[in-house]
Amino acid sequence: MKTIMQDIAKLAQVSPGTVSNALNNRKGVGKETKERILKIAEELGYFKTQKKSEDKIIRMIKFKKHGYILSDTPFFSKLIESCERTCRNSGYELLITQVEAGKDTKEDIQKIFTQKRVDGILLLGTEMEEEDFSEFENLNIPMVVVDTYFKAKDCDFVLINNDRGAYLATKYIIDRGIKDIGYIGSTVDISNFKCRKEGFFQSMKEHNLEVHEENMYKVEPTTDGAYRDFKEILSNENIKLPKALFAFNDIIALGAIKAMNEKGIKIPEDVSIVGFDDIPFSDMINPPMTTVRVDVERLGKVSINRLIEKIEEEDEGKLKVQISTDIVERKSVI
């Protein structure tokens, strides 16, 4: 399709963008120019090709590396719902395919896009590391990567403002007069968690507060895993928890809270805790958990809209878009 568009532009002596505007009946194209473009498009069989390819397809690739993060959680369910809704409202169909690291080769990935025509790729890269990205380079299909970011890669990225969210969560704790603060991180290191760790340390540094190594905990980033691992941490007779903890996400926080409750540690009287994501369960526990709200619906909508923009306007520019976060104040901080 792109080749036909370029041929039309060449014969009409206009830019591909002008051709796209004329064919999609957008403003900004003169009457004579538009008629000339439509005539050339008819002669080149553009409209016949369009009729055969009237189904507009966006394929979401869920890249799975270990499965600890990218699972059936409220966060990802809501993200996919937002993507599907935005596609539907724009006349696109969203197809979802899972790709597993170490199992699917580059050839397998390329087959996904050659077996059925695809207009654009939405790559859900939450579990992806930079070296994994090479499998998706040079596909010659418009692509937007969502929920991760790699500085060295020339691509469109839409993601959460992770470092700012963590910075604000830590500042929220500090502003309540608490200085003895630690974090509960993840045994699985993903880009989002690295950024949240940076935001935590930045906030502590700016307030001239030290983070003691014994207050930096790591657990498996699943509810059961976080509960099991934090229960193991609490089994140490010499453990002395800090007065507050920042958890890298709500799943981790919920598992840790369960372990602390069983140990008789009261939230927030003994230990305050702040999570990240604002999943539905964070408001249902006792006490309701203070957390960082992520506008997941907007994350999906902006990702799809940017991809459609790249498809329809043949926009080859590259953008990094960060979705802002805010604090949801509940009862888990003293």
Using a 10 angstrom Cβ sphere, with 0-12 exposed, 13-18 middle and 19 or more buried, the burial of residue 210 is: exposed
The CATH code of the domain that includes 250 is 3.40.50.2300
User: What crossing angle do the helices spanning 2-12 and 16-23 adopt, rounded to 10°?
Assistant: 100
DSSP 8-class letter at 263? T
278 and 167 assigned to the same domain: yes
CA distance 89 to 92: 8
34 and 75 assigned to the same domain: no
182 and 213 assigned to the same domain: yes
Is 332 part of a structural domain of the chain?
no
pTM confidence score:
0.81
- Residues, the chain: 334
CA distance 331 to 334: 7
DSSP letters of 162-195? HHHHHHHHHHHHHTTT---EEEEEESS--HHHHH
Is 329 part of a structural domain of the chain?
no
Is 231 part of a structural domain of the chain?
yes
- What tens-digit pLDDT sequence spans the chain (334 residues)? 555 777 888 899 988 778 877 877 777 788 899 989 989 988 887 766 554 455 799 999 999 998 788 877 889 999 999 999 999 999 999 999 999 998 888 888 888 887 677 999 999 999 999 999 988 988 889 999 999 999 999 999 999 999 999 999 999 999 999 999 999 999 999 999 999 999 999 999 999 999 999 999 999 999 999 999 999 999 999 999 999 999 999 999 999 999 999 999 999 999 999 999 999 999 999 999 999 999 999 999 999 999 999 999 988 899 999 999 999 999 999 9
Is 156 part of a structural domain of the chain?
yes
What's the domain count of the chain?
3
Q: Which residue has 């050659």 as its token pair? A: 114
Token code pair at residue 296: 């997941």
Is 194 part of a structural domain of the chain?
yes
168 and 287 assigned to the same domain: yes
Is 333 part of a structural domain of the chain?
no
263 and 283 assigned to the same domain: yes
Label the pairing between strands 325-328 and 291-294. Answer: antiparallel
Residue 242 and residue 182 in contact, taking contact as beta carbons nearer than 8 Å: yes
CA distance 130 to 191: 9
3-state secondary structure of 245: strand
Domain range enclosing 174: 162-294
Is 334 part of a structural domain of the chain?
no
